[in-house]
Structure 1
Amino acid sequence: MSILYAWVVPAYADGSPVDHTWVTTYDSRVHAYPDIAAVKAAGERNWYCWGSFHPKGGAPGHADGYIGSQSGDLNLADCLVAPNLSSSGNPPAQGTIFTYGVDGVCHQLANQVLYSTGGAGSSPLTVKRARGYALSSFIYGTYGLQHTAWQKKIAACTGKRLPLNVTDGAGPMADLPDDFEQLAREALGDRTEALSKLLSLRAQVQAFAMQTMPGFLPPDPDYLNARNQQLIDQAAALLGPDDFRKLFGIAPGEKVNLVDPKVER
């Protein structure tokens, strides 16, 4: 067991309302290793989570970049997502976010690493304090859209049998936490009808996002960002400006790019 730390820096675009997230086994406020070679030499781990190496964090609302820590099973974390490797070009470091922007983004991959912090009586830590997390989890969920692959990964790494609800990956993972639903309940309070409509829309959004795209190459980041924007705009139309801003942290119509076009997939 070891402590796993979750970190944020602003996403790639200036003024973006979204944070990039990653995970380490060390507190970068105390040890700001300059590069991955220094991390390895110290016997520590850094999970890039579809980003680049960052010596330390820092973002609006989180001056030092720290958004949480929790004790975790390192063997499980290493099995779920390989550390100290760029996610680009290294499938073991991708978890089940096989195609960046299609299966999920950095938030979902960080959560896959942090799944190892769950235990009897305690839920796994997630990066739900990151800016833009409600937006990404609205589309990609807590652990990404490769539902069946993720359940199989958990089973392979823990030696546990697959849950009975694993079928073809078309439905949500009922036995795993759904951060978006929790965030929506907190934002909407006792407005049960609005919550029901939002969660119904979210199910339609995820079903649409999970559709296989034609062709052999991943969809262009510009296409994915435009598609995601349209899906987010549907939530704005449903909720109205006040509830939308309360849940998602941005104004209706504000442009959001969840997919970094510079990431090599």
Structure 2
Amino acid sequence: MTTLFAWVTPAFWSGSPLDHTWVTTYNSNLTPYPAIADVVAAGEDLWYCWGSFHPIGNPPGMLASRAGNRALAECLVQPNADSSTSAPARGTIFTYGVDGVCHQLANQVLYATGSPGNPPLTVKGARGYSLSSFLFGTYGLQASAWHTKLQGCLGLGDPVSGLPQWSEKIMPDAPPTPALPDDFRDHAREVLADDPEKLQALMALRGEMQAFLARRVPGFLPPDAEMLNAHHRHMLEQAALLLGPEKFTQLFGIEPGEQVDLVDPAMAAAQRGDEPQPL
């Protein structure tokens, strides 16, 4: 087993209220490799997770760490490759800002820390995670593709097979799917424990929004960052109207009306081919 480390740094700019997340097989506090070539030469892995290369976290302390199955992590998401230019390095977050953002891709890597009876780590301690998990869930909106990816990687044989256990089939003719955590649902249940009707309405709103995001129009480029961020802000406004200021702030960690953009314009442009992504 290999220890997987999750890291954060302010997203987009210094002082941002959101965190970018990524994962490594090494403790960058002890060995801050200056470039990806040094990581590869040392036989280590870094998963970009729809971001740039970062030699160390900011703050330097890791977000989380746990022993995991490196072969499984490498199968789920290609390490040491830029997500904006390498499709395998995207896991099943195929379209940045539509299927998910860095949080969901980091969670896909960290799935390899799970074991029977021990749910995998997630980056739920990152700033802005309640916002992204409300919109995109724990592992992104490409649920069918993610289940297929899990089946393929978990079926490789020892030592990968058996991590974690599979749940029952959702439908009689469907393949079995893993029991996956839903961090936002769990957090919402805690915050709205005294108001089950409001919880139900919030989850219904989330379901409608996710269904909208999951739609694809063949032949069209994904929306640009401005359009995506406007849509995401609108959905948060709807949640604020439903919850009221106090519960909204408890759940999302921001004030109603506070403008927070989840989608990095440079990364979205890089995927669209509008401009190169700086490293």
- Whether TM-score is above 0.5 comes out as yes
Q: Which residue of 2 aligns with 1:99?
A: 95
Q: What is the number of equivalent residue pairs in this alignment?
A: 257
Name the SS for the 1:234 alignment partner.
Answer: helix
Deviates more, 1:246-255 or 1:205-214: 205-214
Q: Give the residue type in structure 2 aligned to 1:52.
A: S
Work out whether 1:56 is the aligned partner of 2:56.
yes
1:98–1:38: structure 2 CA closer, same or farther, 3 Å change rule? Answer: same
Which residues of structure 1 form unaligned runs of 5+?
Answer: none
Q: Which residue of 2 aligns with 1:87?
A: 83
Work out whether 1:236 is the aligned partner of 2:240.
yes
Q: Distance in 2 between matches of 1:260 and 1:185?
A: 29
Q: CA deviation at 1:191?
A: 2.4
Q: Give the residue type in structure 2 aligned to 1:48.
A: Y
1:165 aligned residue (166, 170, 176)? 170
Correspondences of 1:214-225 after superposition (within 5 Å) = 215-225=219-229
Q: Which residue of 1 aligns with 2:205?
A: 201
Q: Which whole-Å deviations, capped at 9, do the CAs of 1:144-182 have from their partners, x for residues lacking one?
A: 010100000000101178962279x9xxx7821101011
Q: Give the residue type in structure 2 aligned to 1:142.
A: T
Which residues of structure 2 form unaligned runs of 5+?
Answer: 156-160, 272-279
Q: Which residue of 2 aligns with 1:5?
A: 5
Q: Is the 8 A contact 1:10 1:16 kept in 2?
A: yes
Q: Distance in 2 between matches of 1:69 and 1:10?
A: 19
Q: Which residue of 1 aligns with 2:216?
A: 212
1:257–1:245: structure 2 CA closer, same or farther, 3 Å change rule? Answer: same
Name the SS for the 2:266 alignment partner.
Answer: coil
Q: Which residue of 1 aligns with 2:158?
A: none
Q: What TM-score do the two structures reach when normalised by structure 2?
A: 0.87
Q: Give the residue type in structure 1 aligned to 2:184.
A: F
Work out whether 1:145 is the aligned partner of 2:141.
yes
Q: CA deviation at 1:16?
A: 2.7
- Percent identity of the aligned residues? 58
Q: Which residue of 2 aligns with 1:188?
A: 192
Work out whether 1:131 is the aligned partner of 2:127.
yes
Q: Which residue of 2 aligns with 1:41?
A: 41
Q: What TM-score do the two structures reach when normalised by structure 1?
A: 0.92
1:118 aligned residue (101, 108, 114)? 114
